[in-house]
Amino acid sequence: MSKLSAYVLTFNEEGKIRGALESLTWADEIVVLDSHSTDHTEQICREYTDKVYQCDFAGFGKLRNQALELVTHDWVLSIDADERVTDELREEIQRELASGPRADAFFVPRKNFFLGRWIRHCGWYPDYRQPQFFNKHRLRYREDLVHEGFDVTGKVDYLRGHVLQYPFRDLGEYLRKMSRYSSLMAEQMAARGSRFLRVGRPAGAPENPGHCGGDTACPDSQPRPSQDRCMRRQRSHC
């Protein structure tokens, strides 16, 4: 039976990392690559593994490739600090390792828990982000700052067991993460030659673009009934 290395990237994840590591205790090796956390993340990680390394953040793609250089075994499970491996996924991976994996890389479905409930639509499920169980010699991450792509040499397949993700404690954390990721994406686009236009308010235009001035709302600023129904319908699907 092939052995399994699991790796986790961390930065100030003391509130979430223990659950991720608890779900990985069955792996033959756990590797943590931390970007100089200032909270208790490193101390918590060392309760589960002595293979905790420090690395400056230079984009998620580079971090992931560095993690692949640190793991010992050929077969790798990639788990984020806010993710949890279910028993069903663990058993499925163990069966694959015991029989000889039928592919070189596997996508894993993720269930996201947000604002008190599981999100089942809106592109958040099954949320096949990137292969999370794979042979490290067959997959390489693209060195993107964020939303890193990947290249696989060989066959790709899908597992049925889930990873559970708890990405945001509240709306404030969601907004902070979106701000960070949008800044990283803008930096990445600029480095690739994308140009950005600064959009300002035309001279003489009202400060509130949905208001004509005074106490009279612009007729065109109000949602049309069909638009309002559409927005309600989209929200109900989340």
pTM here is 0.74
Residue 80 maps to a domain: yes
Same domain, yes or no: 78 and 175: no
Percentage of the chain modeled with pLDDT above 90: 57
Residues in the chain: 238
The CATH number for 120's domain is 3.90.550.10
Domain span at residue 25 reads 4-167
pLDDT tens profile 178-200: 676 677 667 767 777 777 666 55
Q: For 3-14, b where at least 16 C-beta lie within 10 A, e where not — what string?
A: ebbbbbbbebbb
**Which residue stretches of the chain are H helix?**
17-22, 41-45, 60-70, 87-99, 171-191, 225-236
Give the mean pLDDT of 64-84. 97
Q: What separation, in Å, do the N-terminal and C-terminal C-alpha atoms of the chain show?
A: 41
Give the mean pLDDT of 49-75. 95
How many domains are contained in the chain?
2
Give the mean pLDDT of 38-48. 98
Residue 213 maps to a domain: no
